A and B are shown apart, each in its own frame.
Chain A
Amino acid sequence: MPFNSLNYLLFLPIVYLVFHFAPERARWVVLIVASLFFYAFLEVPYLLAVLLLVALTSYGFGIWLDRARSARARRALLWGGVAANVTILVAMKYLPFLSENLRALAALLALDSQIQPVRAFVAIGVSYYVFQAISYLIDIYLELEKPERHLGYFALYLSFFPKMLQGPIERAGDLLPQLKKPYRFDYDNVRYGLLLFLLGLFKKVVLADRLGLYVDAVYNDVHSFTGLPLVLATYAYALQIYLDFSGYTDMALGAARLFDIKLTQNFNQPYLATSVADFWRRWHISFSRWILDYIFKPLQMQWRNWKNWGSAAALVAAFLVSGIWHGASWGFVVWGGLHGLYMAGSVFYRPYQKKLHKALGLEKTRLLRCWQVLVTFHLVCFAWIFFRTSTLADAVYVIRHFAVGAPPTSLTSLKVAIKPLFMSTGFGEFKVLLAAAFVLLIMNQLLCGLRSGSASLSAIPGYRRWISYYLLAVGVVFFGMYNSASSFIYLQF
């Protein structure tokens, strides 16, 4: 049941009303039944079995870990629990990729391969709740958390429907206490939740999907384009993926607010980052925290005697895992590897960077900040090429044909250069895009205090609130794109 479907718009209020009027002790039952129904709606019966398997395995290992006394037994149980989760994830997501590459390797070495091609499973949501389960076990091992004894609450921690399919990837210590605390109706909370939900829907159906028209026109057939359209489609993709994923996240956070639950904020203006490391503090925050805490830091500490080389190697390894997590394809591996290399490079470059800025008299200037934002954005865009193209060959084609043709020197030549981009969609959609982007800027101004929690919705004058509601509602109703094929980009991971 996608968040941008009519089914969900019926499902959410019904669940909310039942939850609201249910007695306190039955509320978790309402949420878990709703979450399982939501998952079953994908009509892939084995997914429910996978969820149950992950829940039971991690629940069991969590309790055994807590009971074990010797350090050796605890370590063995941690590795057992993590291995069980990783095995489930690999079986669901990576077998076709592994068998395909092993067969290719066997063919390359002229070996007689008996490896059969493997059919891919639908694995929606699995990467997200498996990562949550692993974080739960590690936190118990590190004695940061106690295991959850109530299987119902534990299953709900993994499967709470607003965040099950695409995160945020929640820590047990953040979400479980909220699921267990008594529900309190707060008008401001509900109102803010609905506004966030509407804003997220606006980002998705008015902006992201419309940008997708231009991106798809180029990226689904890259070999028909050269020069400026490739550059502009890459910028458009950077915006599309941000609006798509942050739109989804707003809808998830908004829906959870109805149930008096605050999920982790996944985004903080990522394209204003001044370095790639800063980008990862602002983009998909719940995921980057996971990668940092459970992959990067342990590896960095393990390799601490190699000094900078140890940190650099840990960064590359952590971001390769990050790439593979997104899916079984070489494009994601290269994307993750590039981010790892960017940051590994900065480990060595950093000491000189400060001196260089000082020598140029640019330290803490606005010019330097703008330059850093621009460079970071382009490094991130370059990596997005591998994320978006279907094959590595397509990505290489895009990179090699960015600079083909003379740069446009007049308005007429610019029009000619970008005309292929508008062939299938025309300029009408582009005008809607500009208007919607303007609305979004207004909304950002309005919501910046609300997001940080420093202001409440009631503090905003009524007329401004209502103008916002109407702008978003008109956008969603009249300019939303409701194509059944348009799912959220991050759903596939």
Chain B
Amino acid sequence: MELQEKLNEIFCQVFDDDDIRILPEMTANDVEGWDSLSHVNLIVAIESRFGIDFSQKELLTFKDVGDLLNCIRGKIAS
């Protein structure tokens, strides 16, 4: 399964909405319920699903889904 699809599954689970279709340019404003409290659940779910750890600096500089995808891709590759 492609990375974006895997990430999409996590989004659907965390935000409890099967209709979410993520795109690289999407931000928190585009997904209902994506606020600072649910964001932390999203991050924890991604870390456990892919077995990776984000650094503080990475977590504080994600601007959109594209940044998140690139960071996960980089970590899986290394």
Contact = CB atoms under 8 A, between A and B. Distances in A.
Interface of A: 141-144, 292-293, 296-298, 300-302, 304-305, 307, 310-311, 347, 350
| A contact patch SS | helix
B56 interface: yes
| B contact patch SS | helix
- Top 9 nearest A-B pairs (CB, nearest first) are A301-B59, A304-B40, A142-B61, A304-B44, A311-B37, A300-B40, A142-B60, A311-B40, A298-B56
B28 to A, nearest CB: 12
29 contacts: A141-B57, A142-B60, A142-B61, A143-B61, A144-B61, A292-B36, A296-B36, A297-B36, A297-B59, A297-B60, A298-B56, A298-B60, A300-B36, A300-B40, A301-B43, A301-B54, A301-B56, A301-B60, A304-B40, A304-B43, A304-B44, A305-B44, A307-B41, A307-B44, A310-B40, A311-B37, A311-B40, A347-B37, A350-B37
A297 B58 CA distance: 12
A354 to B, nearest CB: 10
A307 B44 CA distance: 8
Contacts of A301: 40, 43, 54, 56, 59-60
Given A142-B61, A143-B61, A307-B44, A302 B37 contact: no
Contacts of A298: 56, 60
Given A142-B60, A350-B37, 9 more contacts: A142-B57, A293-B60, A298-B60, A302-B56, A305-B44, A307-B41, A307-B44, A311-B40, A347-B37
B43 to A, nearest CB: 6
B67 to A, nearest CB: 12
Contacts of B59: 297, 301
Nearest to A293: B60
Contacts of A143: 61
Contacts of A350: 37
A142 B41 CA distance: 23
Contacts of A297: 36, 59-60
A142 B63 CA distance: 12
B20 to A, nearest CB: 18
Best-buried of A143, A300, A301, A302 by chain B (most CB within 10 Å)? A301
Contacts of B54: 301
Contacts of B40: 300-301, 304, 310-311
B6 to A, nearest CB: 20
Contacts of A144: 61
Nearest to B43: A304
Contacts of A307: 41, 44
Interface string B38-71: 0011011000000000101101110000000000
Nearest to B48: A305
A304 B42 CA distance: 10
Contacts of B56: 298, 301-302
A88 B48 CA distance: 42
Contacts of A141: 57
A302 B56 CA distance: 7
A319 to B, nearest CB: 14
